[in-house]
Structure 1
Amino acid sequence: MTRHPQQYLHGELVVVIDCSDLERSADFWTGLLGYTRAGAAVEPYQSLVPPAGGCEILLQHVLEGKREKTRVHLDLRTRDLDAEVDRARSLGAAVLTEEPIVEEEWGWHVLADPDGNEFCVLQPPESYWQDHGSS
Protein backbone atom coordinates (compact mmCIF):
# COMPACT_ATOMS: atom_id res chain seq x y z
CA MET A 1 0.00 0.00 0.00
CA THR A 2 1.31 3.41 -0.96
CA ARG A 3 0.80 6.04 1.75
CA HIS A 4 -0.37 9.53 0.86
CA PRO A 5 -0.28 11.31 4.23
CA GLN A 6 -2.14 14.49 5.03
CA GLN A 7 0.32 17.33 4.77
CA TYR A 8 0.49 20.46 6.84
CA LEU A 9 2.90 23.37 6.34
CA HIS A 10 5.91 21.66 7.93
CA GLY A 11 5.23 17.94 7.67
CA GLU A 12 2.46 15.37 8.11
CA LEU A 13 -0.72 15.59 10.18
CA VAL A 14 -1.72 12.58 12.31
CA VAL A 15 -4.65 12.39 14.75
CA VAL A 16 -3.94 10.29 17.87
CA ILE A 17 -6.77 8.60 19.77
CA ASP A 18 -6.11 7.07 23.20
CA CYS A 19 -7.69 3.69 23.84
CA SER A 20 -7.65 0.85 26.34
CA ASP A 21 -7.84 -1.98 23.76
CA LEU A 22 -6.02 -1.58 20.42
CA GLU A 23 -7.88 -4.41 18.70
CA ARG A 24 -11.35 -3.24 19.73
CA SER A 25 -10.55 0.37 18.85
CA ALA A 26 -9.06 -0.61 15.48
CA ASP A 27 -12.19 -2.61 14.67
CA PHE A 28 -14.40 0.33 15.65
CA TRP A 29 -12.53 3.10 13.81
CA THR A 30 -11.82 1.08 10.64
CA GLY A 31 -15.48 0.11 10.49
CA LEU A 32 -16.68 3.66 11.08
CA LEU A 33 -14.23 5.49 8.82
CA GLY A 34 -13.49 2.88 6.15
CA TYR A 35 -9.78 3.08 7.02
CA THR A 36 -7.45 0.08 7.02
CA ARG A 37 -4.75 -0.99 9.44
CA ALA A 38 -1.30 0.03 8.25
CA GLY A 39 0.33 -3.25 9.22
CA ALA A 40 0.25 -5.04 12.53
CA ALA A 41 0.02 -3.16 15.81
CA VAL A 42 3.31 -2.39 17.50
CA GLU A 43 2.34 -1.92 21.14
CA PRO A 44 1.28 0.65 22.18
CA TYR A 45 0.31 1.84 18.67
CA GLN A 46 -1.88 0.86 15.74
CA SER A 47 -1.85 3.05 12.65
CA LEU A 48 -5.02 3.40 10.56
CA VAL A 49 -4.95 4.98 7.12
CA PRO A 50 -7.60 6.00 4.60
CA PRO A 51 -7.62 4.08 1.31
CA ALA A 52 -7.10 7.13 -0.93
CA GLY A 53 -4.70 9.07 1.27
CA GLY A 54 -5.36 11.67 3.90
CA CYS A 55 -5.16 12.01 7.64
CA GLU A 56 -3.74 9.00 9.50
CA ILE A 57 -5.38 7.94 12.76
CA LEU A 58 -2.91 6.59 15.30
CA LEU A 59 -4.45 4.56 18.10
CA GLN A 60 -2.42 4.69 21.30
CA HIS A 61 -2.95 2.12 24.03
CA VAL A 62 -2.97 3.85 27.42
CA LEU A 63 -3.55 2.48 30.90
CA GLU A 64 -5.41 5.45 32.36
CA GLY A 65 -9.11 5.85 31.58
CA LYS A 66 -10.80 8.90 30.16
CA ARG A 67 -11.73 11.35 32.91
CA GLU A 68 -13.31 14.42 31.34
CA LYS A 69 -14.73 15.77 28.11
CA THR A 70 -12.48 15.28 25.12
CA ARG A 71 -10.95 18.62 24.13
CA VAL A 72 -10.22 17.61 20.52
CA HIS A 73 -12.61 15.44 18.58
CA LEU A 74 -13.49 14.24 15.09
CA ASP A 75 -16.50 15.56 13.16
CA LEU A 76 -18.06 13.24 10.58
CA ARG A 77 -20.22 15.16 8.10
CA THR A 78 -22.96 13.18 6.39
CA ARG A 79 -26.07 13.69 4.28
CA ASP A 80 -28.10 11.30 6.49
CA LEU A 81 -27.67 11.96 10.20
CA ASP A 82 -29.95 9.19 11.47
CA ALA A 83 -28.47 6.50 9.24
CA GLU A 84 -24.89 7.43 10.14
CA VAL A 85 -25.66 7.56 13.87
CA ASP A 86 -27.32 4.13 13.60
CA ARG A 87 -24.29 2.77 11.74
CA ALA A 88 -21.92 4.14 14.39
CA ARG A 89 -24.06 2.60 17.14
CA SER A 90 -23.96 -0.78 15.38
CA LEU A 91 -20.16 -0.61 15.55
CA GLY A 92 -20.15 0.09 19.30
CA ALA A 93 -20.58 3.85 19.64
CA ALA A 94 -22.75 5.32 22.37
CA VAL A 95 -25.00 8.28 21.57
CA LEU A 96 -24.52 10.98 24.22
CA THR A 97 -27.24 13.39 23.05
CA GLU A 98 -30.92 12.47 23.30
CA GLU A 99 -31.99 14.77 20.48
CA PRO A 100 -29.92 16.27 17.68
CA ILE A 101 -28.34 19.63 18.43
CA VAL A 102 -29.39 22.14 15.78
CA GLU A 103 -27.53 25.34 15.00
CA GLU A 104 -27.92 27.43 11.84
CA GLU A 105 -29.36 24.53 9.80
CA TRP A 106 -26.67 22.10 10.95
CA GLY A 107 -27.85 19.15 13.03
CA TRP A 108 -25.62 16.77 14.98
CA HIS A 109 -25.31 14.18 17.68
CA VAL A 110 -22.41 13.73 20.06
CA LEU A 111 -21.28 10.11 20.28
CA ALA A 112 -18.52 8.24 22.09
CA ASP A 113 -16.30 5.42 20.88
CA PRO A 114 -15.94 2.28 23.05
CA ASP A 115 -13.36 4.11 25.23
CA GLY A 116 -15.60 7.14 25.76
CA ASN A 117 -13.78 9.46 23.32
CA GLU A 118 -16.32 11.89 21.92
CA PHE A 119 -16.91 12.53 18.24
CA CYS A 120 -19.76 14.22 16.39
CA VAL A 121 -21.87 13.11 13.47
CA LEU A 122 -23.19 16.18 11.67
CA GLN A 123 -25.67 16.78 8.89
CA PRO A 124 -24.97 20.10 7.17
CA PRO A 125 -27.69 21.84 5.19
CA GLU A 126 -28.00 20.83 1.54
CA SER A 127 -26.37 24.12 0.51
CA TYR A 128 -23.14 22.91 2.17
CA TRP A 129 -22.92 19.96 -0.24
CA GLN A 130 -23.71 22.16 -3.22
CA ASP A 131 -21.00 24.66 -2.24
CA HIS A 132 -18.37 21.99 -1.49
CA GLY A 133 -19.12 19.56 -4.33
CA SER A 134 -18.96 16.54 -2.02
CA SER A 135 -21.23 13.62 -1.56
Structure 2
Amino acid sequence: MDADSLSRAFAALADPTRRDLLSRLTLGDATVGELAAPYDMSLQAVSKHLTVLESAGLVTRRRDAQRRPVHLDAEVLGELTDWIDRHRAAAEARYSRLDEVLQQLEDPVPSSTPRSTDSPEGPP
Protein backbone atom coordinates (compact mmCIF):
# COMPACT_ATOMS: atom_id res chain seq x y z
CA MET A 1 0.00 0.00 0.00
CA ASP A 2 1.53 3.32 -1.06
CA ALA A 3 1.66 6.42 1.14
CA ASP A 4 -1.26 8.14 -0.60
CA SER A 5 -3.53 5.10 -0.24
CA LEU A 6 -2.53 4.76 3.39
CA SER A 7 -3.32 8.43 4.04
CA ARG A 8 -6.72 8.18 2.33
CA ALA A 9 -7.61 5.05 4.31
CA PHE A 10 -6.66 6.55 7.68
CA ALA A 11 -8.42 9.83 6.82
CA ALA A 12 -11.56 7.88 5.92
CA LEU A 13 -11.37 5.97 9.21
CA ALA A 14 -11.02 9.19 11.20
CA ASP A 15 -14.78 9.70 11.03
CA PRO A 16 -16.84 7.69 13.57
CA THR A 17 -19.78 7.26 11.18
CA ARG A 18 -17.52 5.73 8.54
CA ARG A 19 -15.93 3.43 11.13
CA ASP A 20 -19.41 2.33 12.16
CA LEU A 21 -20.40 1.70 8.54
CA LEU A 22 -17.31 -0.48 8.12
CA SER A 23 -18.13 -2.36 11.32
CA ARG A 24 -21.62 -3.06 10.02
CA LEU A 25 -20.19 -4.28 6.70
CA THR A 26 -18.16 -6.92 8.54
CA LEU A 27 -21.50 -8.70 8.96
CA GLY A 28 -22.00 -8.80 5.19
CA ASP A 29 -22.83 -6.70 2.15
CA ALA A 30 -25.60 -4.12 2.47
CA THR A 31 -27.31 -1.50 0.36
CA VAL A 32 -27.07 2.22 1.07
CA GLY A 33 -30.65 2.11 2.37
CA GLU A 34 -29.86 -0.75 4.74
CA LEU A 35 -26.75 1.02 5.98
CA ALA A 36 -28.63 4.31 6.42
CA ALA A 37 -31.52 2.81 8.40
CA PRO A 38 -30.13 3.29 11.94
CA TYR A 39 -28.91 6.84 11.32
CA ASP A 40 -30.76 10.11 11.51
CA MET A 41 -29.30 11.28 8.20
CA SER A 42 -30.29 11.25 4.57
CA LEU A 43 -29.41 8.53 2.09
CA GLN A 44 -27.34 11.15 0.30
CA ALA A 45 -25.25 11.80 3.44
CA VAL A 46 -24.63 8.06 3.95
CA SER A 47 -23.78 7.76 0.27
CA LYS A 48 -21.17 10.54 0.65
CA HIS A 49 -19.58 8.63 3.55
CA LEU A 50 -19.51 5.52 1.38
CA THR A 51 -17.91 7.48 -1.45
CA VAL A 52 -15.07 8.47 0.90
CA LEU A 53 -14.66 4.84 1.99
CA GLU A 54 -14.75 3.74 -1.64
CA SER A 55 -12.10 6.25 -2.75
CA ALA A 56 -9.93 5.00 0.12
CA GLY A 57 -10.30 1.47 -1.24
CA LEU A 58 -12.07 0.20 1.87
CA VAL A 59 -15.37 -0.66 0.18
CA THR A 60 -16.62 -1.44 -3.32
CA ARG A 61 -20.06 -1.13 -4.84
CA ARG A 62 -21.35 -3.41 -7.56
CA ARG A 63 -24.55 -3.95 -9.45
CA ASP A 64 -26.69 -6.91 -8.50
CA ALA A 65 -29.85 -6.55 -10.65
CA GLN A 66 -31.59 -3.51 -9.12
CA ARG A 67 -29.47 -3.53 -5.96
CA ARG A 68 -26.06 -1.94 -5.52
CA PRO A 69 -24.65 -3.68 -2.47
CA VAL A 70 -21.67 -2.21 -0.68
CA HIS A 71 -18.88 -4.70 0.02
CA LEU A 72 -16.09 -4.38 2.60
CA ASP A 73 -12.61 -4.99 1.17
CA ALA A 74 -11.07 -6.85 4.09
CA GLU A 75 -7.72 -7.11 2.27
CA VAL A 76 -7.21 -3.36 2.58
CA LEU A 77 -7.99 -3.53 6.30
CA GLY A 78 -5.37 -6.28 6.51
CA GLU A 79 -2.81 -4.01 4.85
CA LEU A 80 -3.61 -1.24 7.34
CA THR A 81 -3.27 -3.71 10.20
CA ASP A 82 0.08 -4.92 8.84
CA TRP A 83 1.32 -1.32 8.66
CA ILE A 84 0.21 -0.67 12.25
CA ASP A 85 1.73 -3.96 13.47
CA ARG A 86 5.12 -3.17 11.87
CA HIS A 87 5.25 0.20 13.58
CA ARG A 88 3.95 -1.16 16.88
CA ALA A 89 6.66 -3.86 16.86
CA ALA A 90 9.37 -1.28 16.18
CA ALA A 91 8.07 0.94 19.01
CA GLU A 92 7.89 -2.00 21.40
CA ALA A 93 11.49 -2.93 20.55
CA ARG A 94 12.63 0.62 21.35
CA TYR A 95 10.72 0.57 24.64
CA SER A 96 12.25 -2.78 25.54
CA ARG A 97 15.74 -1.39 24.96
CA LEU A 98 14.86 1.64 27.07
CA ASP A 99 13.55 -0.64 29.83
CA GLU A 100 16.86 -2.54 29.78
CA VAL A 101 18.87 0.68 30.08
CA LEU A 102 16.68 1.94 32.92
CA GLN A 103 16.98 -1.41 34.69
CA GLN A 104 20.78 -1.26 34.39
CA LEU A 105 20.78 2.25 35.84
CA GLU A 106 18.57 1.11 38.69
CA ASP A 107 20.54 -2.08 39.48
CA PRO A 108 24.17 -1.42 38.49
CA VAL A 109 26.48 -4.42 38.31
CA PRO A 110 28.71 -4.50 41.41
CA SER A 111 32.25 -3.41 40.72
CA SER A 112 35.02 -6.04 40.85
CA THR A 113 37.20 -3.90 43.15
CA PRO A 114 36.35 -4.10 46.83
CA ARG A 115 35.18 -0.96 48.50
CA SER A 116 37.53 0.67 50.94
CA THR A 117 36.62 0.22 54.57
CA ASP A 118 38.65 3.22 55.64
CA SER A 119 36.99 5.76 57.80
CA PRO A 120 35.73 8.96 56.20
CA GLU A 121 38.67 10.79 57.74
CA GLY A 122 41.18 8.74 55.76
CA PRO A 123 43.90 6.31 56.87
CA PRO A 124 45.42 6.74 60.30
Give the TM-score range, shorter chain: under 0.3
Q: Which has the higher strand share?
A: 1
**TM-score (normalizing by structure 1):** 0.26
Q: Which has the higher helix share?
A: 2
